[in-house]
A and B are shown apart, each in its own frame.
Chain A
């Protein structure tokens, strides 16, 4: 008998997928199912949290030329 699970399908590139899995590793309450390299099923209520975390991590990785000036 098939089951239907409520959630949000997340479509992203593999690097973002890896980051989402890393975020999930801390609490284990975000990712419901890993579908394939570019698709995940995620708890719908945690989407805003995931987006905010992603923005934070990505900002750390980017080079901001203005920081250099002030230093």
Chain B
């Protein structure tokens, strides 16, 4: 799952990078935001920021490149002499190695975030007295000031981290917050997989799910609901169905899911004329709050209060008493934390999800070669997800049984879920016993192979098969069966008088890229619908040419 979190981080960065400079400068007015943005940077960029931060003078570009181990020796020689230094990079445009690329990427990102700026300075060589142009880098002054504050803690007064006097507010335990946020979040996920939910997610959540393309209104529903449209879209939204993206979304870990929705929220808030600076500041601030503490609402701006109420719907915030105090939940406080810490946090979330800390390994699916499936779970969410592609039969107190059938898989495929997604889900949730069996099998196979054919390369073809290969193949075959015939509209050309005539036209169709099928022996070919016009023109031109 670390891949998906990486992916998500880059999209957060992408979003930030595409903001205009004025918005950046406003963002950097908050120390907390500076800290959060710093956390999202790649490590080399972090290092650069740190080296610039407490340095009152600007640093030349060359000094920064010195931190990088050069990829080739010529590069090292040329960049070590300072007078020729500014041209060192341009001297070897083709010789840019891996390290260099990483550095360039970090610098590019810092520049796009308007964290550093290139400034050309005249520099006098002390020995020769010659004037040379040197590129120096400057840290954004606003960022420098506020990030220093964030680290040394001199001016945090307007942020929320100062101690709040405990008044008559009720104590809220961390467990309660965990349970509360999970309940809220699971409710949304439940709705997505189409199971019965005690209370529908709010309209805000529903429209966000639709806008992000995770769910869509089914075609037939739209057809029925059109006359009622004037009553508002509520009815339509409640009958939404999960899309392929939505299924992918379910497979991600919880932190990645939240970020995906928050980014969508940002895009939507721009349309609603909410100030993106306020929104972003608030999201970043959440990441630096402490779990289990309450924070007064009075510290927030008007936009942020509106947001606060929206975030309650996602379980990021517990907001028991209107207009007084709110509590961030674990989902909120782990937003910008480093991967390692958030992994453990998400793991603790998983434990709660699986119904108790005693469940360490949350694999629970047993799948037999006869397509029968047993899943040890009490989570209605997991049952609902399984129900998307398994024909479920019996439900017991701690397990469900079912069967993967052609129809159940076809139903899932029709909903846009791919065979690979199903297989991946089964693999990641396989019971530990299944994994153990698969490993034993693999070991035996390797042993057998090494005994039988010592000369052959072993291990290259043998791989761990957690899910019975028959089932994997069959699911893939079912997918292939869905599109066993491909159709293309177009025109068939035949009855050519001679080979030359055929070749002229066919080669032309090949060249312009409209050819779908050709057979030189039978002198027939098939072109796309779009290509017929071009081909007719060409044929007429040929005719005139000949005449």
Interface size on B, residues (CB 8 A): 32
- Which residues between 473 and 507 of chain B lie within 8 Å of chain A, taking CB atoms? 481, 484-497, 501-502, 505
Contact in complex: A36, B519 (CB < 8 Å): yes
Query: 9 closest A-B pairs (Cβ-Cβ)?
Result: A12-B485, A11-B486, A4-B491, A9-B488, A5-B492, A2-B496, A8-B487, A9-B526, A3-B495
Looking at the complex, which one of A3, A32, A35, A58 makes contact with B517 (CB distance below 8 Å)?
Answer: A35
Asked if A8 contacts B484 (CB within 8 A), the reply is no
Distance (whole angstroms) from the CB of B346 to the closest CB of chain A: 38
The smallest beta-carbon distance between B532 and chain A, in angstroms, is 7
Which among A9, A33, A44 is the interface contact of B516 at CB below 8 angstroms?
Answer: A9
B491 touches A13 (CB 8 A): no
**Which B residues between 20 and 67 are near A, CB-CB below 8 angstroms?**
none
Knowing A35-B517, A35-B526, A65-B371, the reply to whether A5 touches B485 (Cβ < 8 A) is no
Number of interface residues, chain A, beta carbon within 8 A? 32
Asked, given contacts A2-B496, A36-B519, A65-B405, whether A8 binds B488 with beta carbons under 8 Å apart, the answer is: yes
Chain A residues within 8 Å of B, Cβ to Cβ: 1-13, 16, 20, 32-33, 35-36, 39, 41-42, 44, 47, 50-51, 54, 58, 62, 64-66
Determine if B245 is an interface residue (Cβ-Cβ < 8 Å). Answer: no
Q: How far is the CA of A54 from the CA of B29 in the complex (A)?
A: 65
Assess A1 versus B494: contact at CB under 8 Å? Given A16-B485, A64-B405: no
Is B524 on the interface with A (CB-CB < 8 A)? yes
* A34→B487 CA distance, assembly (Å): 14
- The reply to whether B487 and A42 form a contact with Cβ atoms under 8 Å apart is yes
15 contacting pairs across A/B (C-beta < 8 A):
A2-B493, A2-B496, A2-B539, A3-B494, A5-B494, A6-B491, A7-B489, A8-B489, A9-B490, A10-B487, A39-B517, A47-B487, A50-B485, A65-B403, A66-B403
Given A11-B488, A54-B484, are A2 and B391 neighbors across the interface (CB < 8 Å)?
A: no
Q: B508 to chain A: closest CB distance in Å?
A: 13
The reply to whether the CB of B302 lies closer than 8 angstroms to some CB of chain A is no
**A5–B407 Cα gap in the complex (Å)?**
38
Q: Which residues of A contact B406 (CB under 8 A)?
A: 62, 64
Question: Distance (Å) between the CB of A62 and the closest chain B CB?
Answer: 5
Known: A10-B485, A10-B486. A4 touches B403 (CB 8 A): no
Q: How far is the CA of A9 from the CA of B517 in the complex (A)?
A: 9
Question: Which residue of A has the minimal Cβ distance to B371?
Answer: A65
Residues of A within 8 A of B501 (CB): 2
How far in angstroms is the closest Cβ of chain A from B509? 11
Q: Is the CB of B526 within 8 A of A41?
A: yes
Chain B residues whose C-beta falls within 8 Å of the C-beta of A62 in the assembled complex: 406
The reply to whether A33 and B407 contact each other, CB–CB distance below 8 Å, is: no
Shortest beta-carbon distance from A11 to chain B in Å:
5
In the bound complex, CA of A50 to CA of B486 (Å): 12
